[in-house]
Chain A
Amino acid sequence: MLQAHSFLWHYLWVAPDALQLLLCFFLWKRRLVKEFPAFFAFALLTGTGELVVYAADLLPSVSGVMYWRMVWAETMLEDVLKFAVIAEIFAKIFGAYASVARLGKALIQWAGAIFVFAAALAAAYAPRYPFAGIIFGANLLEQSTFLIECGVLVFIFLLSSYFHLRWPRKVFGITLGLSLSACVYLATWGLITNAGLPAQKRALLVLLTRSTFHLEVLLWFYYLLVPERAPVLTPAPPPESNLALWNRELERLLQ
């Protein structure tokens, strides 16, 4: 059951991608594409790309090398789109506030550069295997991407938490799904790439990543499509004594 080409394996390969495409349909139907163009492109293209890779895995006419080339192409496309989604998230959270947008942009660029350096360092120190370079390369690419993605997303969470910014519900859902899965993927690809595990254990870890992806898509469904039961939070007018206090403070400052 937990092996490659078992029922569970087929389900975890197809269901999350099919659900992701269904999510795209709902986003289009509810006119949310304009609000999240990068996320829509990411969900549509990666969902389709992964189904193509799945089909290539099943087709006997597709050679092993060809299959891994397709994995490479799909991973690179996914990575580019993922970083576009992260840029979209950043713009939604910080872009509205001029006072922190510039600082946030500068900080995230620095943080990004540090995480790229860390990913390059991790890739340089990864053990080399003499066989199947194309597979190892794909694993290394996954590890590097998730290291950068994980770091940048944690940084966005911390920065917004410092400034106590309110996250729009949909943006929060997209980010939460991406972030939690990035952490699981980083751990699993770190183990797959560096720990020299036997094939059976590697297959188990791949199933773990697919299960996480499934949960991620379900999380997106919930946050993007289920309406918020928003409590009406209207700040009470400041009490008289407090306003007087502010006024006194203001007068003192103006002296």
Chain B
Amino acid sequence: MNLALLLVIAAVISFLVIVLVGILVGRSRLQFADATQIQTVDVEAFRNLADPRESEYLQNRLPASDFRHIQRIRMRALAAYVQVVGGNAVVLIRIGQLALNSESPETVEAARKVVDDALLLRRNAGLVLLRIYIQLLWPDTGFAATPILEGYQRLSGSAMLLSRLRNPAAILRISA
């Protein structure tokens, strides 16, 4: 009977997860996305927090307990940045997926690039967040968030290209 109960509980939890995610998926089909939802990220501050040389410098200068305390604060700040970057990736995934329906093959190609880069960034953001949370437990270990920074740079380029294709007037204003 215990096993039966366990399986019923597993089934009920699965059912609830599927209904919940199903509703979210259904809603996301109707959701509108535009670039105003993107939050700016201070890349310099992000770089500084992710720089292993900074950590090394602090580690050499501070007593071990102080370093661990400071490092945890830095890691939490870095996590906040990564969450924003991950959120921006989601907005760009939505924008790119909407643009995939465009009639212009150029726009579709650019949109596919944006979606691919944004998905990569979302994936990296998740992995980096995981590493940050693990490092919060052991702040002495080294850390590098280079992949996410590189991904962000690549994504910015793709997004610019897509926005140019969708709104040529805008590029004239930018170029001016």
Chain B: which residue is nearest A239 at the CB level?
Answer: B36
We find that the number of chain A residues with CB closer than 8 angstroms to chain B is 62
Bound-state CA distance A127–B1 (Å) is 9
Say yes or no: B11 contacts A150, CB within 8 Å: yes
CB under 8 Å from chain B, chain A span 45-88: none
8 Å CB contact of B156 from A150, A187, A189, A249: A249
Bound-state CA distance A167–B4 (Å) is 33
8 Å CB contact of B116 from A99, A166, A176, A239: A99
Say yes or no: A249 contacts B11, CB within 8 Å: no
Say yes or no: B90 contacts A235, CB within 8 Å: no
Stretch with Cβ within 8 A of B (4 or more), from A11-19, A32-40, A129-137, A177-185: A177-185
Say yes or no: A179 contacts B156, CB within 8 Å: no
Q: How large is the interface on B (under 10, 10 to 19, 20 to 34, 35 or more residues)?
A: 35 or more
Say yes or no: A126 contacts B3, CB within 8 Å: yes
Chain A: which residue is nearest B159 at the CB level?
Answer: A246
B115 CB within 8 Å of chain A: yes
Q: Which residues on B sit within 8 Å (CB–CB) of A234?
A: 98, 101
Bound-state CA distance A187–B24 (Å) is 24
Cβ of A220 to closest chain B Cβ, rounded Å: 15
Q: Which residues on A sit within 8 Å (CB–CB) of B65?
A: none
Q: Which residues on B sit within 8 Å (CB–CB) of A162?
A: 122, 126
User: 4 more A-B contacts (CB under 8 A) besides A187-B12, A238-B167?
Assistant: A162-B122, A172-B25, A238-B36, A243-B163
